[in-house]
Structure 1
Amino acid sequence: MFNEITQEEAYNTEHLQRPAKTISMHAESSFKVACSNCNLRELCLPIGLSTDEMKQLDGMVATRKKIKQGGHLYSSGDAFTTLYAIRTGFFKTCVVSEDGREQVTGFQMAGEIVGLDGIVADKHNCNAIALEDAEVCVMPFNHVEDLSREIPVLQRHVHKIMSREIVRENGVMMLLANMRAEERLAAFLLNLLQRLHARGYSKSELILRMTREEIGSYLGMKLETVSRTFSKFSDEGIIEVKQKNVRILDHEKLKTIFNSSTC
């Protein structure tokens, strides 16, 4: 469910949970990026590339772009030309209905690729917004396509990323259709913990970069229901909550709540 991480993709990263700032602008850096020297390469690049293939990939990433908290990486309707690999920070993807209501469709973190939504129609169908100051690697899609034809392992990796998005969407559909509020929140917290742990962080503590309202939008729950469910978990000794800081006190109970939906 959601964005599952395999052991071969797990790699420690730095600054993933650094404090957020409050400026909403973005700037593109002018220095060259070398994938071969990046500490995220094992998360966003395929395993087993040769030295020559890695050098080719170094040419695929043109620049890095910095996005301030609240800034748009891209917006719905923008022409699709680029995929982005997140180096630091958190993003949310969302769509806005005709009456102005926002529906959150996902949360993305360091080592993950965003922008795949634009492939089907050559334009983006959602907004990608930074939940904290972030930095991404800019990968022109025509370069990705060209190299994928030359490097079969890269082509398989791109297909794997696309497949993961399909699996994630199916997981969200199941969550919204079949799970109670407690099961939805348990699944959400377990998924975040698993993804962060794959990046070298604690199995039992996390910082929520998204608001309760954004969590509710993603999980199909009202804000009041999200807050009430957090309070219920806290009262039952499953979690400890201090504003955006969450500590898991009873992993097994949280797993039991989630697994009850499949019994």
Structure 2
Amino acid sequence: MGLALCLRCHIEFYQNMNLAITPESVKVACSNCNLRELCMPTGFNTDDMKKLDEVVATRRRVKQGDMLFSNGDVFTSLYAIRTGFFKTCVSTEDGREQVTGFQMAGEIIGLDGIVTDLHSCNAVALEDAEVCVMPFAKVEDLSREFPLLQRHVHKIMSREIVRENSVMMLLGNMRAEERLAAFLLNLVQRLHARGFSQSELTLRMSREEIGSYLGMKLETVSRAFSKFSDEGIIEVKQRYVRILNSDALKKIFNPETCS
């Protein structure tokens, strides 16, 4: 827990200092990245890693509220998130925003553009972020040489399909409390894989954005948070959430396997 908080403090300190990090001042190399195992396949030897390093052209900083790419942009690259949080969203015909996902460090975004060579959604930074830019043409070329990389790209695509199916199940069959419980459990699980606490998190997204993603009104999201808090399942202080009883949260999400 102490190490996780220390790591987070260091990341946030440098982000808040707004240091100018340019491609020239930082060596861009997957082989030197502590998130490599989250967004790249394992099993490459030293020579293979050197070739993999050639895939990542630059790093790009994205300020909170700015777009990494937007609907209709020409697709050229995939982006591996190095620091920060993003949301992907689309706009409905009447101008409302529909959040389609939340992405964090170690995850790859931009796959939506592969089908038509145009991005079909907006990717907005929820906090100051940094991404590694991976030109898709280079990824394709190297994939032909390394089946391991090709399989990894296929896994990433498959993961997106599974995620979309899970969201459809969540929206179609779950009550409001079940949706929020599933969301919190998934979020803390993903954060824990990155070295953070299993029970504490700071929500980078607003209640409104959570509601958009979960298909719930803002008032319903707030009521669900309050209900969990009143029942001693979580502790909530603005965007800080501490899970006090993970078993209870799991039981809400999936009562049959927790009985």
For normalisation by structure 2, the TM-score amounts to 0.91
- The DSSP-based 3-state class of the residue aligned with 2:130 is strand
Counterpart Cα distance in 2 of 1:261 and 1:70:
40
1:60-139 aligned at under 5 Å gives the runs: 60-139=55-134
Q: Which residue of 2 aligns with 1:178?
A: 173
Q: Does 1:210 align with 2:177?
A: no
Counterpart Cα distance in 2 of 1:28 and 1:181:
44
Describe the shift of the 1:78–1:28 C-alpha distance in structure 2 as closer, same or farther (beyond 3 A): farther
- Long gaps (5+) in structure 1: 1-12
1:139-218 aligned at under 5 Å gives the runs: 139-218=134-213
Q: Which residue of 2 aligns with 1:3?
A: none
Identity in percent: 75
Q: Does 1:257 align with 2:259?
A: no
**Could you tell me whether the CA contact under 8 Å between 1:15 and 1:88 is conserved in 2?**
no
**Could you tell me whether the CA contact under 8 Å between 1:183 and 1:261 is conserved in 2?**
no
- The letter of the residue matching 1:89 is G
Counterpart Cα distance in 1 of 2:160 and 2:81:
16
- The letter of the residue matching 1:51 is T
Counterpart Cα distance in 1 of 2:29 and 2:174:
44
- Tell which has more relative contact order, 1 or 2 (C-alpha 8 A, sep 6+): 1
Q: Which residue of 2 aligns with 1:6?
A: none
Q: Which residue of 1 aligns with 2:39?
A: 44
Q: Residue 193 of structure 1: CA displacement? A: 0.6
Describe the shift of the 1:133–1:166 C-alpha distance in structure 2 as closer, same or farther (beyond 3 A): same
- The letter of the residue matching 1:205 is E
Counterpart Cα distance in 1 of 2:99 and 2:244:
28
- Long gaps (5+) in structure 2: 1-5
**Could you tell me whether the CA contact under 8 Å between 1:178 and 1:261 is conserved in 2?**
no
Counterpart Cα distance in 2 of 1:32 and 1:71:
24
- The DSSP-based 3-state class of the residue aligned with 1:18 is helix
**Could you tell me whether the CA contact under 8 Å between 1:237 and 1:249 is conserved in 2?**
yes
Residue-by-residue CA offset, 1:88-129 (whole Å, 9 max, x unaligned): 000000001121100000000000000000000100000000
Counterpart Cα distance in 2 of 1:47 and 1:242:
39
Match of 2:12 among 11, 18, 33: 18
Counterpart Cα distance in 1 of 2:37 and 2:96:
37
Counterpart Cα distance in 1 of 2:138 and 2:129:
23
Q: Which residue of 2 aligns with 1:10?
A: none
Q: Residue 261 of structure 1: CA displacement? A: 7.6
Counterpart Cα distance in 1 of 2:133 and 2:196:
26
- The letter of the residue matching 2:12 is R
Q: Residue 14 of structure 1: CA displacement? A: 4.5
Q: Residue 52 of structure 1: CA displacement? A: 1.2
Note the aligned Cα RMSD (angstroms): 2.2
Residue-by-residue CA offset, 1:45-97 (whole Å, 9 max, x unaligned): 10101111100011110100000000000000000000000000000000011
Q: Which residue of 2 aligns with 1:33?
A: 28
**Could you tell me whether the CA contact under 8 Å between 1:179 and 1:261 is conserved in 2?**
no
Counterpart Cα distance in 2 of 1:161 and 1:145:
14
Q: Which residue of 1 aligns with 2:3?
A: none
For normalisation by structure 1, the TM-score amounts to 0.90
**Could you tell me whether the CA contact under 8 Å between 1:32 and 1:63 is conserved in 2?**
no
| Greater helix proportion | 2
